[in-house]
Every structure is written in C-alpha cells, then in structure tokens.
Amino acid sequence: MSNSPLHQGDEPQDCEIISRVLGGDANAFETLVHRYSRLVFGIVGKHIPRNYVDEVAQDAFVEGFRSLRSFSQTGPFGHWMAKIAVRCCYDFWRKRHRKKEVSLSDLSQGAQDWMDDLLAVQSSETFKREAAASEAIEILNHALGLLSAEDRMVVALVHLEGLPVKEAAVLLGWSTTAVKVRAHRSRKKLHRIILELQDDSMQSQKR
C-alpha cells in the first residue's frame, strides 16, 4: 500500500490504521504511537524508574507492532496497548529482580518516621491515602524493590492504584482468583518488609 497521508483533515479510525499497517504500510503505525503515547507513557511512568520510562514505553510499542495481527479488534486498541504496557513493566521488574537485604541506609529520617503510621493501617482506603505522602513514596519504592515482579505489579495495580481485581486481572493476563490471592499475599509481604525496615531502624538506634 501507499505511504501517503492517511487523511486530509480527517482523523482516521484505529481500525483503518491497523488495516494499513497489516497491509504493509509500516509507517502508518506512527499514527497509533502518537495517539496512544500519553496512555502508554502514563502507565509505564507509574511503575518504572524515571530513567527507564522511555525505554520500556518504546518496548511496549515495538511489542504492539510485532503483535498487531493478534489484535482481534473486538475491543478498543487503547485497552490492548494498556495490557501490553503493563506486561512490559512486569518484564522489566522480572529481569531485574534480585534477592536484596532489607536496609534503611537509603531512606530519609522522614520516611523512617512515617513507617510507624503505615504499620497501623488496616483498610485499603487508608493505605491508599497514606501512600500519597511524600515519605510514603520514598519508602514504598524502596520496599517494592524487594518484592518479586509479580507481587510488585499486583500491589501497584490493586492496592496503590485501586483498580478492581477484574480489571487488574485483564491487564496482567491472570485469572481473578490468582489476582485476589496474590494481592492479599503481596500486601502482607510488603507489610512484613516494612516491619523489617522498622526493626532495622530500632536496632540501629540501639547501637
């Protein structure tokens, strides 16, 4: 097919662009990249360190291009790209996951003080509200780095972003039961990590 502009003055539908790409006009995919950049970068930016966001977001679009024939067009293209973006974030953490010792060495005093409040949290609503604090961002990023890729993504989607289990399951490609079980277990793991951080802080004060 020709690589001429898609329309003069008209915004083409996603299905039109996809048909052109599948027909051999690879350049047409740039229109989809432009159209869904904010969505993909927004998702990746929530889960990936800032200096890796561009790389992972580009990986998501590359995967979208490579997998375009598998897009059934029974649902929105944006939702399909969102799933790819989430899975690219998961792959990022899976590749980088290492066994790490729990330490307070990189945390500010404010973050250490904030831990006491978080340990008393019982409800998900309170958890999300507390997570808005600047100290929370620091310590949660530290603690999340000690979780596996699967646990990290579930905590982020269900407990921090507040997505319904069903929606998180679709994005991750898991069953709702698997998400429910892992969400419960991963939140307990995160809580245990914070307890260990607190214990480390107490031991440091005694020395």
If one looks up domain 14-96 in CATH, what number appears? 1.10.1740.10
- Dihedral sign from CA coordinates of 54, 190, 200, 126: positive
- Lowest mean pLDDT of 60-64, 67-71, 112-116, 166-170, name the range: 112-116
Q: Is the pLDDT of residue 54 over 90?
A: yes
Tens of pLDDT, residues 18-34: 999 999 999 999 999 99
Q: How far apart (Å, rounded) are the C-alpha atoms in residues 43 and 89?
A: 9
CATH fold, domain 109-206, is Arc Repressor Mutant, subunit A (1.10.10)
Cβ neighbours around 3 below 10 Å, total: 11
Predicted TM-score of the model (pTM): 0.69
Written as six digits, the tokens of 27 are 């350049």
Q: Is the pLDDT of residue 4 over 70?
A: no
Whether 14-96 shares its CATH topology with 109-206 is answered no
Q: Is the pLDDT of residue 67 over 70?
A: yes
Tens of pLDDT, residues 78-111: 999 999 999 999 999 888 765 454 444 444 555 5
Angle in degrees, CA 2, 23, 43, rounded to 5: 105
- Lowest mean pLDDT of 12-26, 60-74, 193-207, name the range: 193-207
Cβ neighbours around 45 below 10 Å, total: 15
- Dihedral sign from CA coordinates of 93, 94, 98, 99: positive
> What are the domain boundaries of the chain?
14-96, 109-206
Q: Band of the pLDDT at 10, cuts 50, 70, 90? A: low
Written as six digits, the tokens of 161 are 């972003």
Q: How far apart (Å, rounded) are the C-alpha atoms in residues 193 and 187?
A: 10
Count of H helices and E strands in the chain?
Answer: 10, 0
Q: For the residues 33-57, what does the mean pLDDT come to?
A: 94
Distances (CA, A) of 45 to 55, 74, 85, 156, 157: 11, 27, 10, 12, 13
φ/ψ of residue 73, rounded to 5: 65, 20
Q: For the residues 125-149, what does the mean pLDDT come to?
A: 66
